[in-house]
A and B are shown apart, each in its own frame.
Chain A
């Protein structure tokens, strides 16, 4: 029954998100895999935002109250999206299914079946053991457990449990899943994590399909699905995989917006960034970088039809900024526990450490078993397309990776984070936030190159 109730608790967000997207006229606007992948995150984001409001209104945090509250919020959004939805031009997939040969279809079907089987295996791995991960037991799953028993978000519990720097998005979702079990279950809520991986891969495949043929897109999805640390995080309850999911989603919809100019894509990017800010503190960094790149695209890039920078940035920034400000105000005014210390080091310390940090990080990226050959391919592909650095393909997928890594390494060199980095406990988890972006970037650039070669080939011309 754990599986059945867990699947139901995960299916509801997909349904909630899918109906809203459908209502907004976005079915057909994007590949079905991208549609399903983003629906999962959209539904989860809605649920977690609704749940945090209940205690503020003095309503008990129980399933009995949560279900109608989520339903009410969903109904309001359904009504609102219906009023403001308009006909949306669909973004066609690169090739219709009928254009593929029998051989290609067979390979694609086998590849897809194997990928589904792999996800099934990962799902069983996640669900055959209780939560073990340090951060989960120390902070966010304990917070969820406290919310379950307290039936509210008690400030005393938040303070007692530890660093208040962790936002509440994921604990609320773990609480949501466990309500369906009717008891606190140390295993059930982990179903969220293979769900995040499946949704991430679905988004990656669906977005690639808009540029690359089915088989190439499937190779891209397999490439990402074989990154060992990404898969490992789908088997336990850490915050890094969900943040990787929202970071990829944000970039994909900004990239789509750059091509379609549709407000829907911008709003979906904004929703994903807001969810990222609500999941982990580093989500604010991802949001800031995305905002800066969107500003760059709006103002500097040679867009065929120049975007309106202020309204574009405001539309994107509104939701994540609201979440960040609301959480920051609550955190600083209501909680007493000390935030994580980031006492900066001296300038001389910074420069002496920077070399050590750069050497360590570059060595780890090349040598470790976490990323297979992602990083040489990522930097190699970037090198080949360096002249196109302001194209949306590179602007929204390559630069976020580079800037995130640079920001993290600079912070590590300049603060107490240096010790954690050199112990090996933070680097790869930080890299995980942007690894799917890097995998997408490689898939996109190789796919585009391949499509160009095909278009030039005599057979294709004929």
Chain B
């Protein structure tokens, strides 16, 4: 189901007859090119001896993973007092503003309460996919990996806390008054705790790597470096560099007209410098390179166009 663009598109699923008591969670599998802070799942329920209930729960939709992977959003319903009786209609309102980007709802499913459902919802709340996506595009993740959050705390701090408890128990086993049987029990508990935490983190690491691999493969797999860079740069810098290197002798110096905030300009200048070599990017060069992508002009009216290609122009500065 594709929700067309609009300020707040709405869909309604009617004709249901679901007992609210049998449902604790709703899960949406959704693909949205932008993160959406404000969305509502509403319902209408018939209740014996009481007026019909109409209510909703607000939720947020994370941006789809690069490569087009959908995201799962779990909404807890059974905590809402109005979630009772027989649910007859479900409605979805998504406040997307004027983005013009379609949002795809792949499925809406209702789940009963239970350990498995709760575990799945808890797992999704860890947002491991966001961490994996960062790993797939190693810009900041080479400095530090984005922390996995469990509520307001990081998974690392919780794991560290449990391991510290284990270490304290091990220290206790070394105290003289502790009986050998108690000492063995303490040591066993401590080692069990530490091993469980370590194994759990190994499993999380394996999940993150596998997921990062899937994202990378969807975005970069079986494509050329030029295609990959085109995706990362947002325009065909590699093609421009190849064109210019064919047209100009090695060692020719060029200045580039860049765009964006200072940080983005700095990043872009590094990429252009790397890609253009053996042409050299220097700010004082007499040749000026402008890209259509940036919609930015640095030339003066006296500068003469000497070379032009798909998405770029080179001017001789006067």
Interface residues of A (CB under 8 A from B): 118, 121-122, 124-125, 128-130, 132-134, 137-138, 141-142, 145-146, 149-150, 160, 185-187, 222-223, 226-229, 231-233, 235-236, 238, 364, 366-373, 375-377, 380, 383-384, 424-429
| B205, A134: Cβ atoms closer than 8 Å | no
B131 to chain A, nearest CB (A): 7
A222 to B201, CA, bound (A): 11
Q: Contact at A366–B156, with CB atoms within 8 Å?
A: yes
Q: Which residues of A contact B300 (CB under 8 A)?
A: none
User: CB within 8 Å of A: which of B205-229?
Assistant: 205-206, 208-210, 212-213, 216-217, 219-221, 225, 228-229
Across the interface, do B197 and A232 meet the contact criterion of CB distance under 8 Å?
A: no
Chain B residues whose CB sits within 8 angstroms of the CB of A370 once the complex forms: 144-145, 156
Closest to A130 in B: B225
- Tell me the complex Cα distance, A236–B135, Å: 11
Nearest-neighbour CB distance to chain A for B232, whole angstroms, equals 7
B101 on interface, CB distance cutoff 8 Å? no
Q: Which residues of B contact A134 (CB under 8 A)?
A: 139, 142, 267, 270
Bound complex: CA of A119 vs CA of B170, how far in Å? 34
Asked whether, in the complex, the Cβ of B167 is within 8 Å of the Cβ of A380, the reply is yes
Q: Is B87's CB within 8 Å of the partner chain A?
A: no
Is B296 on the interface with A (CB-CB < 8 A)?
no
Also in contact, A373 and B160, with CB within 8 A (given A138-B270, A384-B170): yes
Task: Tell me which of A132, A160, A185, A367 contacts B147 (CB under 8 A).
Answer: A367
Given contacts A134-B267, A425-B144, 11 further A-B contacts (CB under 8 A): A125-B209, A128-B221, A133-B139, A145-B274, A146-B277, A228-B135, A228-B145, A369-B156, A372-B156, A372-B201, A376-B164
Shortest distance in angstroms between A197's beta carbon and chain B's nearest beta carbon? 12
User: Using Cβ atoms and an 8 Å threshold, which residues of chain A touch B282?
Assistant: 160
**B228–A129 touching, CB < 8 Å:** yes
Min distance, Cβ B42 to any Cβ of chain A, angstroms: 36
Chain B contacts with A in 77-102, Cβ cutoff 8 A = none
The answer to whether A223 and B198 touch across the interface, beta carbons within 8 angstroms, is: yes
The closest CB in chain A to the CB of B208 belongs to A228
| Given A372-B159, A376-B167: A232 in contact with B142 (beta carbons within 8 A) | yes
Q: What total count of A-B pairs have CB within 8 Å?
A: 147
Query: Provided the pairs A373-B198, A429-B143 are in contact, do residues A367 and B216 lie with their beta carbons within 8 angstroms?
Result: no
What's the minimum C-beta distance from B220 to chain A, rounded to whole angstroms? 4
Interchain CB contact (< 8 A) of A129 among B131, B163, B194, B216: B216
With both chains docked as a complex, state the minimum distance between the C-beta of A295 and any C-beta of chain B, in angstroms: 32
Q: Mark B57-89, 1 if CB is under 8 A from A, else 0.
A: 000000000000000000000000000000000
Taken together as a complex, chains A and B put the C-alpha atoms of A378 and B271 apart, in Å, by: 40
Q: Decide: B213 and A373 in contact? CB cutoff 8 A.
A: no
Closest-by-CB residue of A relative to B131 is A369
Instruction: Report the bound CA distance from A427 to B143 in whole Å.
Output: 8
Q: Which of B146, B164, B210 sits near A121, CB closer than 8 Å?
A: B210
Are A369 and B148 CB-contacts (below 8 A) given A118-B209, A137-B270?
yes
A226–B156 Cα distance when bound, in Å, is: 13
The complex places the Cα of A380 from the Cα of B142 at a distance, in Å, of 27
Chain B residue contacts of A376, Cβ below 8 A: 160, 163-164, 167
Interface of A is mostly: helix
- Name 20 A/B residue pairs within 8 A (Cβ), A-sorted: A118-B206, A121-B213, A125-B212, A128-B217, A129-B216, A142-B277, A145-B274, A150-B278, A186-B225, A228-B205, A232-B135, A366-B160, A369-B145, A369-B148, A372-B159, A372-B201, A376-B163, A380-B167, A425-B143, A426-B143
B250 interface residue per 8 A CB criterion: yes
**Which residues of B sit under 8 angstroms from A130, Cβ to Cβ?**
225, 228-229
Q: B159 to A236, Cβ gap below 8 A?
A: no
Report chain B residues within 8 Å CB of A428: 143-144
Distance of B139 from chain A, by nearest CB (Å)? 6
Chain B contacts for A384, CB-based, 8 A: 170
The answer on a CB contact under 8 Å between B274 and A137 is yes
Contact B277 A149 (CB under 8 A): yes
Distance, CA A186 to CA B220, complexed state (A): 13
CB distance from B37 to the nearest CB of A (A): 25
Which residues of A have CB within 8 Å of B209?
Answer: 118, 121-122, 125, 231
Say how far B100's CB is from chain A's closest CB, in angstroms. Answer: 30
Cα A422 to Cα B77 with chains together (Å): 42
Whether A132 contacts B139 in the complex (CB less than 8 A), given A141-B274, A228-B208, comes out as yes
A160 touching B280, Cβ below 8 Å:
yes
The 6 closest A-B pairs by CB, nearest first: A129-B220, A380-B167, A130-B225, A149-B278, A372-B201, A226-B205
B113 sits at the interface (CB 8 A): no
Known contacts A138-B270, A372-B159; decide if A232 and B278 are in contact (CB<8 Å).
no
Contact of A369 among B154, B163, B271 (CB under 8 A): B154
The answer to whether A132 and B137 touch across the interface, beta carbons within 8 angstroms, is yes
Give the residue name and chain of the B residue nearest to A186 (CB): B225
- Smallest distance from the beta carbon of B121 to chain A beta carbons, Å? 21
Q: Determine if B274 and A125 form an interchain contact, defined as CB atoms under 8 angstroms apart.
A: no
Docked pose: A120 CA to B164 CA in angstroms = 34
Interface residues of B in 108-154 (CB under 8 A from A): 131, 135, 137-139, 141-148, 154
B19 at the interface (CB under 8 A from A): no
B210 touches A372 (CB 8 A): no
Question: Do B213 and A125 touch across chains, with their CB atoms under 8 A apart?
Answer: yes
Query: Which residues of chain B are within 8 angstroms of A128 by Cβ–Cβ distance?
Result: 216-217, 220-221
Flag B280-294 by CB within 8 Å of A: 1 or 0 each.
101000000000000
B157 interface hit (Cβ, 8 Å): yes
Which residue of chain A is the closest to B232 with respect to CB atoms? Answer: A132
Q: A125-B213, A231-B205, A368-B144 are in contact. Are A373 and B225 (CB under 8 A)?
A: no
Query: Do residues B216 and A125 form an inter-chain contact, with CB atoms below 8 A?
Result: yes
How many Å from the CB of A205 to the closest CB on chain B? 16
Expressed in whole angstroms, the Cα–Cα distance for A129 and B226 within the complex equals: 10
Contacts of A187 in B (CB 8 A): 225
Closest CB-CB distance, B282 to chain A, in whole Å? 8
Residues of A within 8 A of B305 (CB): none
- Kindly state whether residue B202 has any CB partner on chain A within 8 Å: yes
By a CB distance below 8 angstroms, the chain B residues around A121 are 209-210, 213
> B220 contacts which chain A residues (CB < 8 A)?
128-129
Chain A residues with CB under 8 A of B313: none
Restricting to B236-291, which residues have a CB under 8 Å from any CB of A?
250, 267, 270-271, 273-274, 277-278, 280, 282
Q: Does B53 contact A (CB under 8 A)?
A: no
Q: Which residue of B lies closest to A124 (CB)?
A: B213
A369 touches B147 (CB 8 A): yes
Q: Which chain B residues lie closer than 8 Å to A232 at the CB level? A: 135, 138, 141-142, 145
Closest residue of chain B to A2, judged by CB? B225
Distance A427 CA – B144 CA, assembled complex (angstroms): 8
* CA–CA, A223 and B201, complex, Å: 10
Flag whether B155 is at the interface (Cβ < 8 A). yes
